[in-house]
């Protein structure tokens, strides 16, 4: 894996995390009529109530729930991003090590058998 | 089928099973809701780190007894992976803490002792790189054994220092709902398999590097 790939992974992770944390979670859209119908269903048609006040309370409750969920999801996704980012960086570190090992091995091979190494390179 | 191949096949399957059990099977915790899902990888990472440090300790003892360089390589590579999982614990923890306790960091016993554990193993690698080759393995093995004493301290820190810290006591698992317990066990298994796969891969590289260095030394001395 080249350094370019590593940079791409890190940038992709950071961009996604940043965008996710900056942008707001889309609200759950509940139309006013639906709130009205549900409130009437719960309270029953006979009960007297201030329709506007109850509608305001329900809308506020939905807003609070929306904000809470949005906030929790952001933390959850950020945490899982961190887990994968750390593991991917470690795998990148291992692949770098493998490349380095291969280079050293080729160098040694060249010194021990210069003719054979040339043939090998031609074969590749 | 060789053990390594079996490990590389089973690990992704276990990982998918873990993700499914966390997000599709385990029920939501009543107070923390979605954010509690961090628990499955946070705590499992901590247990995997403990396992890695235990392997380091056992291999360090084995090295001191048998003086076989392979044990030292396994000890070093396991400590490296333990440090990776410890880093996961120390980064996912504050994210969860910010959401649940409204603070990124608190100098309470569990957090402080985990940070000390992490720094101790950073010290282990500083020692490995700063000591000459002849004594490196011996010193590192002794350090690897002593450093492991931190693990039970981290585990029992909440019980030892009952200062009303933010972490629950070590019996958290028993309070979990059945589905949560299963999801946690699957996650722990998946992370342990990731650890085993990476350790196998890493030991392979370390052993190849060791043999190559020996060969280079012999070639250049002739």
Q: Determine the residue of chain B that is closest to A105 in CA distance.
A: B212
Predicted local distance difference test score (pLDDT) of residue A58: 78
pLDDT of residue A40: 73
pTM assigned to the model: 0.81
Across the interface, whether the CB atoms of B88 and A82 are under 8 A apart is answered: yes
Q: What is the mean pLDDT of chain A?
A: 74
Percent of chain B with pLDDT strictly greater than 90: 47
The SS3 call for residue A27 is coil
Q: Domain residues of chain B, as ranges?
A: 3-164+176-216
Chain B interface test: which of A20, A69, A83 (most B C-beta within 10 Å): A83
| pLDDT given for residue B198 in this prediction | 93
Task: Look at residue B80 and tell me whether its pLDDT is greater than 90.
Answer: yes
pLDDT in tens, B22-39: 888 888 887 777 888 899
Best mutation site among B8, B30, B92 for testing chain A: the one with the most A CBs within 10 Å? B92
Q: Do B33 and A86 touch (CB under 8 A)?
A: no
**Is the pLDDT assigned to residue A25 strictly greater than 70?**
no
Specify the pLDDT at position B163. Answer: 67
State the nearest Cα–Cα gap between A122 and chain B, in angstroms: 24
Interchain CB contact of A121 with B (< 8 Å):
no
CB contact under 8 A, A83 and B45: yes
The predicted pLDDT at position B166 comes to: 67
Q: Residue B117: which pLDDT band, with cuts at 50, 70 and 90?
A: very high
**Residue B82 confidence (pLDDT):** 96
- Average of per-residue pLDDT across B127-143: 87
8 A C-beta contact, residue B26 and residue B33 = no
Q: Which residue of A has its CA nearest to B208?
A: A101
Q: Three-state DSSP class for B33?
A: strand
Res B27: pLDDT: 85
Better-predicted residue by pLDDT, B180 or B172: B180
pLDDT higher than 90, residue A5: no
CA–CA gap between residue B168 and residue B174 (Å, rounded): 12
A115, A86, A99: which is closest to B87 by C-alpha? A86
Put simply, the answer to whether A82 touches B91 (Cβ < 8 Å) is yes
Chain B partners of A73 at a C-beta cutoff of 8 Å? 34
Residue B99's pLDDT is what?
A: 83
Least confident of A1-10, B5-14, B72-81: A1-10
In the predicted model, what is the mean pLDDT of residues A52-69? 77
Strands (E), chain B: none
Which of A14, A21, A64, A82 to probe the B interface (max B CBs under 10 A)? A82
B49 compared with B170, residue with greater pLDDT:
B49
Contact A98 B194 (CB under 8 A): no
The beta-carbon neighbor of B41 closest among A72, A83, A108 is A83
Instruction: Measure the CA–CA gap between A34 and A38, rounded to whole angstroms.
Output: 6
Cα(B109)–Cα(B209) distance, integer angstroms: 40
User: What are the tens digits of pLDDT across the range B183-220?
Assistant: 999 999 999 999 999 999 999 999 988 888 888 888 77
Q: What is the pLDDT of residue B195?
A: 95
Nearest alpha carbon to residue B72 among B26, B28, B116, B127: B127
Interface size between A and B, measured as CB pairs under 8 A: 68
Query: Residue B52's pLDDT is what?
Result: 96
Spatial distance between the Cα atoms of B32 and B48, rounded to a whole number of angstroms: 24
Contact B95 A75 (CB under 8 A): yes
Three-state SS for A79-111 is HHHHHHHHHHHHHHHHHHHHHHHHHHHHHHHHH
Q: Do A75 and B35 touch (CB under 8 A)?
A: yes
In chain A, where the domains are located: 3-92
d(CA A113, CA A106): 10
Whether residue B92 and residue A91 make contact (CB cut-off 8 A), yes or no, is: no
Please, which pLDDT band fits residue A124 given cuts at 50, 70 and 90? very low
- Judged by average pLDDT, the poorest of A23-32, A82-91, B156-165 is A23-32
Residue B47, judged by CB atoms within 10 A of its CB (0-12, 13-18, 19+), counts as middle
CB contact under 8 A, A75 and B38: yes
- Residue A75: is its pLDDT beyond 90? no
DSSP secondary structure, B49-80, as one string: HHHHHHHHHHHHHHHHHH--HHHHHHHHHHHH
C-alpha closest to that of B126 among B136, B135, B117: B136
């Amino acid at each position: 894996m080249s350094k370019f790939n590593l940079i791409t992974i890190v940038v992709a992770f950071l961009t996604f995390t940043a965008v996710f944390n900056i942008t707001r979670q889309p609200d759950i859209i509940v139309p006013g009529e639906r709130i009205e119908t549900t409130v009437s269903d719960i309270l029953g048609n006979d009960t007297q109530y201030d329709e506007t006040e109850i509608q305001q309370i329900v809308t506020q409750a939905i807003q609070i729930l929306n904000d809470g969920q949005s906030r929790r999801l952001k933390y959850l996704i950020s945490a899982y991003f961190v887990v994968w980012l750390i593991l991917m960086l470690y795998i990148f570190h291992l692949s770098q090590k493998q490349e380095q090992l291969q280079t050293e091995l080729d160098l040694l091979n060249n010194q021990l058998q210069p003719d054979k190494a040339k043939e090998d390179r031609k074969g590749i | 089928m060789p053990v390594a191949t079996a490990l590389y096949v089973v690990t992704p399957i276990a990982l998918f099973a873990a993700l499914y059990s966390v997000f599709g099977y385990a029920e939501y915790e009543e107070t923390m809701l979605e954010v509690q899902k961090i628990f499955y990888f946070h705590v499992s990472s901590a247990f995997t780190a403990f396992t890695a440090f235990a392997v380091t300790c056992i291999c360090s003892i084995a090295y001191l007894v048998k003086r076989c360089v392979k044990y030292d390589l396994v000890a070093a590579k396991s400590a490296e992976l333990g440090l990776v999982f410890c880093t996961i614990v120390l980064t996912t923890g504050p994210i969860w803490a910010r959401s649940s306790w409204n603070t990124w960091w608190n100098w309470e016993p569990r957090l402080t002792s985990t940070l000390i554990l992490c720094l101790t193993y950073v010290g282990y690698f500083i020692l490995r790189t700063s000591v000459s080759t002849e004594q490196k393995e011996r010193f590192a093995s002794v350090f690897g054994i002593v450093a492991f004493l931190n693990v039970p301290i981290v585990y029992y820190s909440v019980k030892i220092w009952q200062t009303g810290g933010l972490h629950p006591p070590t019996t958290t698992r028993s309070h979990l709902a059945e589905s949560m317990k299963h999801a946690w066990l699957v996650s722990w298994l998946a992370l342990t398999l990731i650890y085993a796969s990476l350790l196998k891969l890493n030991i392979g590289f370390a052993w190849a590097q060791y043999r190559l260095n020996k060969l280079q030394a012999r070639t250049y001395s002739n």
